[in-house]
């Protein structure tokens, strides 16, 4: 069996930063360090951090006063930030800077009097955080049909922002529908969607052209991972999302000579290796990596944390 790996795949700079924040906090302040919600959407990452002394909570009232507390990469609402101050928690904010950029865009549009539309998945932690960062009513839409249902007259001052982890193509379709219905609408270029999402989607489309089947490694609650599987299926090749090698089904690989593998932005490379090892139990493997974009992005750590030398 031939295995071809997408490039880039797996961890993005925002995820690396978020995990580093928890690990560095444990090193510098000692255990326990409290983390509100999953730091990133990957069970293996969360379990690894738990083993090092991180305690994951759903709400801040579970955190002792004055404890070191980390906000997840998805961002939080201002009410959460205020609650942390009231409880005198020592907060390290692991919100991805690109998510923070969406927060700023939304606040600026609202301050100018625009009705803000957020293109995103209702209920996703990133979307909940964005809604809670904008001091004005915001309407969430995910698809073109929901754009048609918007109640605002065509001359309403409108602006849109986007969840970072959506499909670029899906976002373009919704933006086009918004522009057709509200010709004066303003918003960021679709290129402002997370660089890592764009790069992984582009690499996957190239990969799909030269394989018989695609495996997307990542968690079921990872939006960008689920989107990658959808994109792969849309190219016409069979595509499956798996969290680890144990989830492979031998039946998938009948008459399959070449398997493509990619991974969501919150998936550690160790899980890709685990899937490759499981494939190796089915057949002898040849493995290569497609040429692709080399990502050099790095984000600064919060004040008070000392970066490791890499």
Who contacts 305 (Cβ-Cβ below 8 Å, separation ≥6)?
20, 21, 24, 25, 28, 92
How far apart are alpha carbons 285 and 288 in whole angstroms? 10
Instruction: For residue 239, tell me if it sits in a domain.
Output: yes
Contact 19, 45 (CB under 8 A): yes
For residues 53-73, one letter each, b for 16 or more C-beta atoms within 10 angstroms of the residue's C-beta and e for the rest, the string is bbbbeeebeebeeebbbbbbb
CATH number at residue 226: 3.40.1010.20
Please report, in angstroms and rounded to a whole number, the separation of the first and last CA atoms in the chain.
35
Closest CA relative to residue 259, chosen from 188, 186, 210, 204: 210
Q: Which domain holds residue 153?
A: 98-192
- Residues 17-65: tens digit of each pLDDT: 999 999 999 999 999 999 999 999 999 999 999 999 999 999 999 999 9
Locate tokens 């009410």: which residue? 79
> Residue 301 falls within a domain, yes or no?
no
Single out the residue in 177, 192, 207 at which a domain terminates: 192
C-beta separation of 272 from 10 below 8 A: yes
Beta-sheet pairing, 33-36 with 54-57 = parallel
**Does residue 155 share a domain with residue 209?**
no
pLDDT of residue 200: 94
* Residue 15 CB neighbour total at 10 angstroms: 24
Assess whether 200 and 278 both reside in one domain.
Answer: yes
Confidence of residue 310 (pLDDT cuts 50, 70, 90): low
The residue-averaged pLDDT of 98-103 equals 95
Domain count of the fold of the chain: 3
CATH code, domain carrying 77: 3.40.50.11270
Out of 58, 126, 247, 269, pick the active-site residue: 126
Q: Are residues 150 and 105 in the same domain?
A: yes
Q: Domain boundary residue among 74, 96, 118? A: 96
Q: What is the pLDDT of residue 190?
A: 67
Is residue 18 in a domain?
yes
pLDDT at 191: 64
Ranges 137-146, 160-169, 187-196, most confident:
137-146
- 244 is an active site residue: no
């Amino acid at each position: 069996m031939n295995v071809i790996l997408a490039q880039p795949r797996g961890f993005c700079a925002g995820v690396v930063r978020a995990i580093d924040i928890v690990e560095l906090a444990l090193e510098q302040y000692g255990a326990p360090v409290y983390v509100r919600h999953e730091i990133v959407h990957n069970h293996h990452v969360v379990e690894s951090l738990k083993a090092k002394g991180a305690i994951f909570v759903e709400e801040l009232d579970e955190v002792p006063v004055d404890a070191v507390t980390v906000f997840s990469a998805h961002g939080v609402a201002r009410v959460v930030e205020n609650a942390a101050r009231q409880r005198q928690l020592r907060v390290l904010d692991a919100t991805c800077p690109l998510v923070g950029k969406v927060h700023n865009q939304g606040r600026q549009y609202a301050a100018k009097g625009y009705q803000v539309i957020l293109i995103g998945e209702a209920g996703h932690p990133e979307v909940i955080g964005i809604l809670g960062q904008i001091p004005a009513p915001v309407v969430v839409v995910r698809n073109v049909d929901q754009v048609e249902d918007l109640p605002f007259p065509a001359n309403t001052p409108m602006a849109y922002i986007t969840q970072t982890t959506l499909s670029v193509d899906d976002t373009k379709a919704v933006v086009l529908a918004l522009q057709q219905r509200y010709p004066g609408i303003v918003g960021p270029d679709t290129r402002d969607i997370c660089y890592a999402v764009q790069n992984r989607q582009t690499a996957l489309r190239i990969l799909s052209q030269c394989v018989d089947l695609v495996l997307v490694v990542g968690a079921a609650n990872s939006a960008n991972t689920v989107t990658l599987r959808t994109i792969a299926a849309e190219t016409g090749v069979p595509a499956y999302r798996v969290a680890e090698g144990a989830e492979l089904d031998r039946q998938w690989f009948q008459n399959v000579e070449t398997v493509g593998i990619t991974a969501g932005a919150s998936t550690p490379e160790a899980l890709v290796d685990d899937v490759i090892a499981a494939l190796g139990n089915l057949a002898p493997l040849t493995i290569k990596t497609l040429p692709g974009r080399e990502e050099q992005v790095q984000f600064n750590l919060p004040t008070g944390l000392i970066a490791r030398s890499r």
